[in-house]
């Protein structure tokens, strides 16, 4: 299985790049975050014309998640059950061969002193409970997306600068560890070891060329 996760920061803007990705790498699944489009305006036909089926959960301007697949997916779940939340951050679906895929865009959290951080913590508690239930239901489970969590000090370019800051607090890291405790494992460990395994760079800082990255996007496998 070849699977991709990508925070596109607007599907409409990134559609040409998505076309290149699908053409050059032919993934079985592509999970997108921050599609930033309402369901009624989702670019469904454009994606289907590229040879992919798609399920999606979106809202205007912010957030939004989608799963592209070569074959039609079933048992689609949008949002976290029992969590009252109007933000489109989670979609789950089951592939034709039985793999359950959960695509998440975890809240950023802004700063520890803000209400957005407490929202993130409450959201993560509900998300971990949701994944716990899904682990019991599915033998083949993939949990992925933009987690907005750097699990270890080596996952940021300057551990001292990020210490006890949002993305790196012990609370956030503990939630990530809970997911691993369910028997999920970090897929990147199978392919790449060592420092600078980054997934995000701030374009405003020319961060990619300066190697000022963060690892906040993850693919966890059962």
Q: 196 falls in which pLDDT band (50, 70, 90)?
A: confident
Q: With 80 as the cut, is the pLDDT of residue 123 above it?
A: yes
Would residue 105 show up in a list of annotated catalytic residues for this protein?
A: yes
Residue 55, φ and ψ in degrees, nearest 5: -120, 150
Question: What is the pairing mode between strands 74-78 and 65-69?
Answer: unpaired
Residue 218's pLDDT is: 98
User: How distant, in Å, are the alpha carbons of 80, 127, 129 from that of 133?
Assistant: 11, 10, 6
Q: 20 falls in which pLDDT band (50, 70, 90)?
A: very high
Strand partners, 105: 146
* Catalytic entry in 52, 105, 117, 157: 105
Q: Is 0.95 topped by the overall pTM?
A: yes
- Domains identified in the chain and CATH numbers: 1-79 (3.30.110), 106-222 (3.60.10.10)
Residue 9's pLDDT is: 98
Report yes or no: 65 and 107 within 8 Å, Cβ to Cβ. no
Task: Residue 15: name the closest of 57, 56, 44 by CA.
Answer: 44
Is the sign of the CA dihedral 203, 22, 31, 91 positive or negative?
Answer: positive
Position with higher pLDDT, 124 vs 189: 124
* Catalytic entry in 52, 56, 146, 155: 146
Q: 156 falls in which pLDDT band (50, 70, 90)?
A: very high
Q: 32 falls in which pLDDT band (50, 70, 90)?
A: very high
**Mean pLDDT, residues 122-143 taken together:** 98
């Amino acid at each position: 299985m070849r699977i991709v996760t990508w925070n596109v920061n607007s599907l409409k803007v990134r559609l040409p790049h998505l076309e290149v990705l699908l053409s050059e790498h032919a993934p079985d699944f592509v999970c997108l975050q921050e599609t930033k489009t309402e369901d009624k305006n989702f670019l469904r036909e454009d994606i289907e014309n590229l040879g992919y089926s798609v399920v999606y959960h979106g809202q205007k301007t912010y957030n939004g998640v989608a799963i592209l697949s070569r074959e039609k997916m079933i048992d689609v779940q949008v949002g976290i059950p029992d969590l009252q939340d109007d933000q489109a951050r989670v979609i789950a679906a089951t592939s034709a061969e039985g793999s359950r895929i959960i695509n998440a865009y975890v809240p950023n959290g802004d700063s520890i002193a803000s209400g957005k951080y407490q929202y993130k913590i409450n959201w993560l508690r509900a998300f971990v409970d949701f994944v716990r239930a899904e682990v019991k239901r599915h033998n083949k489970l993939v949990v992925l997306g933009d987690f907005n969590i750097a699990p270890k000090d080596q996952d940021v370019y300057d551990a001292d600068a990020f210490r006890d800051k949002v993305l790196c607090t012990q609370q956030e890291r503990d939630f990530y560890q809970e997911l691993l405790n369910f028997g999920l494992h970090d897929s990147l460990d199978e392919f790449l070891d060592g420092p600078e395994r980054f997934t995000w760079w701030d374009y405003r800082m020319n961060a990619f060329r300066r190697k000022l990255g963060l690892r906040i996007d993850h693919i966890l496998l059962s």
